[in-house]
Every structure is written in structure tokens, then in C-alpha cells.
Structure 1
Amino acid sequence: MLNEKEMSVGERLKQARVTHKPALTQKDVSDRSGISQSVISDLERGKIQGTTKMIELAASVNVNALWLSSGHGEMRSPETERLTEIQRLSHAIQKLDLTKEQVERLVNMAIAEASKMAFEQQR
């Protein structure tokens, strides 16, 4: 079996996609990254060797961009997952063209819902 540095970008992408919790489809990665599903498929099949949107692609599967592009470093860590979630959120906000007020309203709603869920779990 190849070590991560010997794997292609596409092989590392597929590994990241299928080991994500929950596992992601190519369509999921496409939706999360803004990269077409055909490009993701071409990467995984080795038809193309990279993309200029490596940061977005790494964020979509919650992995370190350096690891995805070269195999160096950790695939996932708590810090990487936190940062990639922030990148994904930023991408979604831009994609939806939300105003600052709309984002603040959504954040407040999410905090209220999370607090309610935490309270219910403690019962």
C-alpha cells in the first residue's frame, strides 16, 4: 500500500472523502467546495493532477490543504477541522450572498437551537 506522500492528490481526496464522518459523495464535495463534480471525478481517477482551488477542496472534506496537495503533515486534526469549518461557512455565506444582518440572525438562531439541544441532552 502506498504511503500518503506517494499517493496522488486524487487518491488522497478519495481517502479524505470516504473517511469523513459521515462519508461524502463526490456530489457532496462539489456542493461544499464549489468545484464541479466532473473535476472531482477527474482528480480521483488521475485524469488531472491538481486544481487551483486546493484550499476550497481541502476545506470541503475537512483536511489540511498541505496534506491534500502533497501528503505532508496530518490529514485531520481538531485545529484543521475547526479552520475548515470556518472556511466552509465563509464560502456558503459568499455563495448565498448574505448580508451581515442575515448572517448575524442565522448565527443567533443557530446558537439558540444549539443551546436548546444541549439543555435537552442534559435532562
Structure 2
Amino acid sequence: MSAQNSAGIQTLLDAEREASKIVQKAREYRTKRVREARDEAKKEIEAYRAKKEAEYKKFEAEQTQGNKAAEEEANKEADAKIAEIRAAGKKNQDKVIKDLLEAVFNPHPVPLGA
């Protein structure tokens, strides 16, 4: 009976070793799959980030072009107004200088509170 028990114990130990190997392989496989999944997720995240970055650059370029057009239009309007003011200033320059000199050299004092 002891030989039979010894063979049974040996069979159980062999089965335990085999089960341990299977468990170890399963752990290794799971670890490998987790790494693969993590790497795949990183690739997907990077691709998504690149896509969104390209969309942002395109949007930014479109908005900048619109801003540039508006800025150019505003500059044209400002230049036109400046030219108009300068023309008006040149047109009335002599009269303004004459009026200023007359005010300086011929003061007309006005009493306070009147």
C-alpha cells in the first residue's frame, strides 16, 4: 500500500507542477497581452492626438486668415481716415494758425462767474 500511496503522491506532485506551469504560462500570457494592449492604446492615443493637432492647426490657419483680412480692411480704413484728416488739416491750416495767433496776441479777457 505504501508503494501505491507513494505513486499517488508522486502523481499529485507531478500534477501540481504541471498546474503551476500552466498558471505561470497564463500569467505570462496575461502580462504579454496587457503590454500589447497598453502599446496599442498608446498608438491610438498618439494617432488621435496627431489628428486633433492637425484639426487645430487647420482651424487656427483659417481663423488667422480671417483675422488678417479684417486687419487689412481696418488698416485701409484707418489710412483713409488719416489721409482725410491730414487733407482737412492742410486745407484749414492757415486759418487755424491765424486764429491761434489772433487769440494769443489779441486776448479778450472774460471775468469769472459771468
Please report the TM-score for the alignment, with normalisation by the length of structure 1.
Answer: 0.20
The higher relative CO (CA closer than 8 Å, separation ≥ 6) is in: 1
Which of structures 1 and 2 has the bigger CA Rg? 2
